[in-house]
Structure 1
């Protein structure tokens, strides 16, 4: 009789086990499009056999565990690719804006510089013409406006990056805090011998997002909890403790800080990865470099024009005599330290009568020597 009961029990466990396996398969199918879900697999185990004297009889099968189909190597590769993707994504939007600013068109900076020197070229054909002289002054003012507009647009892109950084901090802190909570939940579940597959899926998904945003690195500590840190080694999650990020304003820019054990630490942008690194790189390196080159170009053009113009001659309206030594642009080298030259290009002449087109000290009406010299300056730019 006991043998019959054992056989029936084996059949019962087989049905129950296969039903459980079907439920797991059904759950896999239901979550096929769920972001971050890892396919689960039932681990089957034989129920220990019963001793019937001369032999042992098996008692069937049971589900010993439900494991995730999780490849650590592939997960690590995905995490690394997320870091790279995040960095390029962080650069993409501001670089597109910069491309628009410097794109070749009829109203960009390059066109304004060309128009300015073209006006000088037109002046060479009629050095005494009031229309041509007024056109030179107008084009000089428009070129100054174009430099200022370009500088201001660079500032706008920089401010947009700062605002974008600020807007992401709350969400990043929520994700960091959630990893710490999931660490604790997984530990409490698995310490009792149960599987925390769902919680592990959630944690891995958040980790992938943090990799994209901050370029984080991770490792498992001696309690099996996930430790998360920035590429520079600054911890974000240790066990069930999260380290919150915050914003600090430095002049017109923003930077990141982190609170560790009650102490606030500045985060060097070089410690970051992912999207944050991309944004900081564009702001601190690319835009700063463009502003420096823009200021250098402003100084070089105005100085080159002034050097030639101050040696040119014109007829002083007040005395009617030939005069020289007149600046065409305000001297940008005399600006106070820290003042961006590209925002302060101003024509120094009150009107076109003070424009020095002549090269000879008689300022003869047909003398276009200085106008030709300034028109030829266009070549280097």
Structure 2
């Protein structure tokens, strides 16, 4: 009888605990990271009564999680990559919106500015058109500065995101290491819920850093980043910190804190959200900022050179229309020498906007791209007479550099925020050609002069009157110099100007080239300025300013779309990995309901065993009372 009671009691307790486990599964169906738990039953040790062994009932051998390590690993990998791409896509779309939207981009103001130049070319003497050109120039410069400022705010947002990520990474790593210690000391009997908690934290950590988790000794888990940096090893957690960029103290970088030292992490050493922030800054934000500056510099330089070749209403040659900043050169924080590098624009057509690292070693300079490390052609010695020349920039070296000293050259980054209109007086706009041509009234030929063009506005004799006199239809002199051979339609040039004649000049015909003078309503230079947006001045004379503006919009839009497509594809991969994990570890209500019904019936049967034992016991008691 006691065996019956013991057997029934063991079954009752085992089924009760199994029902509690099923209830626990149902209760946590919406708990993130929860893995379904399963009860394993085993028989209790039987008793030998001589005639044979009599079973002792049942017991719970183990309560363990149901899981697939490969499915969990795939989910970790997919989650870290998804976090990286979503971060990259979200920020890239914001840059795309800034550049492509007419309310925030430069395209609208760009068109308005050149429309105002065209309007001035149609009415060069109008004060209203001159005022409008200055207003549109200021509006365009303001828009450049606004867009540059938005890019700068995004850069600061990346820094703030990195600071926040570092705090979470350190917290998660420390907690995972602490759980590793508890689980490792449990002798392989850790609570399933504790294991789920650790897996959830590992998943959250990988979302920030990318990478994966590796099981060690079957109990603890090591977590490494996408670049192979160990964040958690057993019960020890590494710490990340924030350090200043050695070239740009206002910009922050990530560093691994080890033995009192901070080791800067390459941007490729992290995935996840932190990696997405760093990749956005290096592959989308910095190139867009540099290209915006290159467009501003290209516009300002081309417009200034053309404007300097015209004459204003005061009869003076045009000066700079835009004030342009010089390229920035920042010294590395660890430089030992006292060299100071001053950069200036050289060949704007050679500007590519990419940042360059200049390094001094063994008495000479070398240049490499800051993003890839690829070598960049460099000429010159760095003196005033022979400056260093790299990518359209000229650099003069002052002071004494030490071996190993490095400098970061930023040819165009931030330039868009510093461009401004240099003049305030509308009469200073050089809309007129500086020289004009007149034919002698006594000419007998049919030659008619066209508008002269200026090739060298700095020529000292540009405004000096000059007389072109034809000896016959095939020869001419310039202020008595010559004779020079002439064929109909050929270009005649001197003193920095050039011109052509329509028709056929006769012997004795004369033409006078002289300064336009003050108060002229001539529109020769304004007409040239109006067409500068289509002039191929960038990329060695292969890309126009309009093409560069369109190229900026296209490149940013392409990067944003690529990141979005990649994020959408990764979302599908992640969902599939999540479904694969849930198919094994997730709670299925139908299955749990069936288990609960089965265990309930078993529990009731066990209770009936106890009831039977009680009846047997009462029967014995009743028999002894007689």
Q: TM-score, normalised by structure 1?
A: 0.90
After superposition, the Cα gap between the structure-2 partners of 1:232 and 1:155, relative to the gap in structure 1 and judged at 3 Å, is same
After superposition, the Cα gap between the structure-2 partners of 1:331 and 1:47, relative to the gap in structure 1 and judged at 3 Å, is closer
After superposition, the Cα gap between the structure-2 partners of 1:78 and 1:331, relative to the gap in structure 1 and judged at 3 Å, is closer
1:169 matched to 2:169? The reply is no
Q: Which has the higher helix share?
A: 1
8 Å CA contact 2:165–2:274 kept in 1: the answer is no
**Matched residues in 1 for 2:46 and 2:265: separation?**
61
Q: 1:49-77: CA deviations, max 9, x gaps?
A: 33333433322211100010122122112
Q: Which has the higher strand share?
A: 2
1:70 matched to 2:67? The reply is yes
Which residue does the alignment assign to 1:266? 264
Out of 306, 309, 312, the residue aligned to residue 307 of structure 2 is 309
1:109 matched to 2:106? The reply is yes
Q: 1:18-55: CA deviations, max 9, x gaps?
A: 11111111111122222222111101112233333343
Secondary structure at the aligned position of 1:313 is classed as: coil
Q: 1:109-134: CA deviations, max 9, x gaps?
A: 22111111010111122111111111
Which residue does the alignment assign to 1:154? 151
After superposition, the Cα gap between the structure-2 partners of 1:106 and 1:230, relative to the gap in structure 1 and judged at 3 Å, is closer
* Offset, 1:367: 2.4
* Offset, 1:93: 4.2
Which residue does the alignment assign to 1:211? 206
Secondary structure at the aligned position of 1:324 is classed as: coil
Select between 93-102 and 252-261 the one with higher mean Cα deviation.
Answer: 93-102
Q: 1:3-22: CA deviations, max 9, x gaps?
A: x4334432322222111111
Secondary structure at the aligned position of 2:222 is classed as: strand
Q: 1:141-189: CA deviations, max 9, x gaps?
A: 2211111111111001100110121123223211111101100111122
Q: 1:299-334: CA deviations, max 9, x gaps?
A: 111122122222223342xxxxx4435332235568
**Matched residues in 1 for 2:327 and 2:157: separation?**
31
Which residue does the alignment assign to 1:253? 251
1:372 matched to 2:533? The reply is no
Which residue does the alignment assign to 1:199? 194
Unaligned runs of 5+ in 2: 329-341, 344-409, 437-515, 535-543, 547-626
Which residue does the alignment assign to 1:319? none
8 Å CA contact 1:67–1:195 kept in 2: the answer is no
Which residue does the alignment assign to 1:330? 323
Which residue does the alignment assign to 1:183? 180
Secondary structure at the aligned position of 1:117 is classed as: helix
Q: 1:250-269: CA deviations, max 9, x gaps?
A: 21111122223444322222
Q: 1:67-90: CA deviations, max 9, x gaps?
A: 101221221122112112211232
Secondary structure at the aligned position of 2:312 is classed as: strand
* Offset, 1:107: 5.4
8 Å CA contact 2:241–2:262 kept in 1: the answer is no
**Matched residues in 2 for 1:245 and 1:345: separation?**
39
After superposition, the Cα gap between the structure-2 partners of 1:197 and 1:107, relative to the gap in structure 1 and judged at 3 Å, is closer
Which residue does the alignment assign to 2:563? none
Q: Write out aligned runs for 1:69-148 (5 A).
A: 69-106=66-103, 108-148=105-145
Which residue does the alignment assign to 1:233? 228
**Matched residues in 1 for 2:164 and 2:143: separation?**
31
Q: TM-score, normalised by structure 2?
A: 0.56
Q: 1:190-226: CA deviations, max 9, x gaps?
A: x1x6342111010000011011111132111236311
